[in-house]
Structure 1
């Protein structure tokens, strides 16, 4: 079979992204049985320690696909029904009319109308996502804060709804996925972290992937530099951070190789049943944190690449770290990228993010890796 990967161009694209301003970037691209891994830049701007393609990394909301898969496994087992109201399962957490109106499906595809809890958990981000009016002080104040998930859920549920349950477009919210984790605990009889680890991570044979129980990243990893739209200058390292503020919504640590393996197995029907996979791939419009409209299913993004067809996957960010993982519908082409800088765009007088060379360089790398 002809190798359609171009290692020289992929290396150049990585280096271009680094030169555009990302301290370190690493990736794995797969085309059928051909695998390319590469890295450019540094894991530590002070020491100059280089990034490597096998580093472990916080991958943010890619966690949601793992959590969704664990829920769909319980659907396959007959323990959860997608169209049953969440109030049936968790009446104390989502009581009354809202609990009766919001189904499990609506939580997974972000059409519940439940509001994001982030501004209340991090008070100085109260204007989030109107970032021009915020300061990053809460990041330092809460570096070692241990949140309980029900505390965060209460913040989201007690805030006025951002949309009507089941309405479109949906609105992206971590509150939905913390509730799904509580649902997993109810039906599995164990913690959500243990359930996801056993039924998804271990089932897929992911040796370098975990849901952490503390603020540290074990093993070889990069520092994670948060710029917060130029308000942290120079960007500050937040690789040590208690991730209980997102839990099963965005706390996963993984590698680019493990991410490609996971999405490859998921789309091959080896993580959830084919019928559940079909449910995951039923998409609708959802408004992201950045205000963009994305095509979202049950824990999966849908991306249509001109000339290459449909790709499935997810992206994610945490304080200082970001990742994206996409797999073609037929499973033959895959990309996973990790970067160690976030919110690099500065803001204009109206508080709107301005274009940055990183934006174009990142998109060029993605397009090249996807074969576009």
Structure 2
């Protein structure tokens, strides 16, 4: 276990944070690392191993596939286009991408509905990864190096049965929405969504360790990423080498816990989008997540409340073998980002896993 204790007194409790992070590792996560900020004070911690074969330890500066945290970056890029007058939040997506969402649905579904998951467009993943319908891992292995085209994935979601009428709530979380937003950014900017987000959001925010991968491998330093698929892969399998074209604009970003805290701090501090755009991002609706929870979802980010009445904004994210979370208090005074190299450890219908309790303990301490 490593940690960095600030030289001055702070409201952070390094011993408690270190103990809680160790608890996540001891409960079954091979490796976990985090950064917690209280004002100008910063604590870094890591517990466990980055590689089960070599026993090399994790450390707080490692790069991580951050999954759906990517959606906040996409949303910020779209809002910047709104500010420039290049797109309207309540304009039909059919005005911009009529071939991808044709006919009446294209006229009813707005850009805002894509951002807050109230479009009614279904998730494409069960169709691109058909073995997931039986919680079987074959599709994960079959698609490891497959190069998907966004338009073919979007078509799977658009052609699938709708999850509801456009604009109705609760919305249903769907990566199809964010692949469409990636195509929208490309349409508006004339470059790929990934290049546009890098130039409009990542670089201006000074995020030097954040970017979209150009190949299946992750640049060092990084951890292996072990997928359990709800207990169906035992022992969990390493999917750290993976072609992320299956979800790139929705969940393909690589970052560090330090960069994530910097990003959300700047975003919620009004340094990336204008205050009026941020207000739009924080207008929430109920959205049913893929794990069945109901989220208070805005435009690319959502909120959570602590037991003492605090409000935090951010996003969680998973890809095969990796789980990441990043949360910032609404006044910006407290932040934490954490990354784990194990995903989907709980078997369906089983009792809560010890990891769940340990992770909840760490989150309470970090918040």
Kindly provide the CA deviation profile for residues 282-304 of structure 1, in whole angstroms up to 9, marking residues without a partner as x: 00100000011011000011111
Q: Pick closer, same or farther for the CA change 1:353–1:141 going to 2, 3 Å.
A: farther
For 1:339 and 1:201, the matched residues in 2 are separated by 23
Unaligned runs of at least 5 residues, structure 1? 128-132
Tell me how large the CA RMSD over aligned residues is.
0.9
In the alignment, which of 34, 38, 55 is matched to residue 31 of structure 1?
A: 38
Aligned to 2:360: 363
SS in 1 for 2:303: strand
SS in 2 for 1:107: helix
In the alignment, which of 120, 123, 127 is matched to residue 127 of structure 2?
A: 120
Aligned to 2:102: 95
In the alignment, which of 21, 28, 44 is matched to residue 28 of structure 2?
A: 21
Aligned to 1:130: none
SS in 2 for 1:193: helix
For 1:14 and 1:247, the matched residues in 2 are separated by 30
Matches within 5 A, 1:57-206: 57-125=64-132, 127=133, 133-206=134-207
For 1:274 and 1:166, the matched residues in 2 are separated by 24
TM-score, normalised via structure 1 length:
0.96
Kindly provide the CA deviation profile for residues 10-55 of structure 1, in whole angstroms up to 9, marking residues without a partner as x: 1111111100000000000000000000000000011100000000
Shift of 1:359: 0.1
For 1:256 and 1:12, the matched residues in 2 are separated by 19
Stretches of 4+ aligned residues off by more than 2 angstroms? none
Kindly provide the CA deviation profile for residues 166-203 of structure 1, in whole angstroms up to 9, marking residues without a partner as x: 00000000000000000001111111000000011101
Shift of 1:354: 3.4
For 1:190 and 1:23, the matched residues in 2 are separated by 39
Contact preservation (8 Å) 1:228, 1:343: yes
Aligned to 1:271: 272
Matches within 5 A, 1:311-322: 311-322=312-323
Aligned to 1:295: 296
SS in 2 for 1:355: coil
Shift of 1:2: 5.3
In the alignment, which of 351, 354, 364 is matched to residue 351 of structure 2?
A: 354
For 2:19 and 2:63, the matched residues in 1 are separated by 23
Shift of 1:306: 2.3
Shift of 1:325: 0.2
Shift of 1:340: 0.3
Kindly provide the CA deviation profile for residues 246-279 of structure 1, in whole angstroms up to 9, marking residues without a partner as x: 0110001000000000000000111111100000
TM-score, normalised via structure 2 length:
0.97
Contact preservation (8 Å) 1:229, 1:353: no
Matches within 5 A, 1:221-240: 221-240=222-241
Kindly provide the CA deviation profile for residues 288-337 of structure 1, in whole angstroms up to 9, marking residues without a partner as x: 00011011000011111122511000000000001000000011100000
Shift of 1:58: 0.4
Aligned residues: 360
SS in 2 for 1:316: strand
For 1:103 and 1:225, the matched residues in 2 are separated by 37
For 2:342 and 2:333, the matched residues in 1 are separated by 29
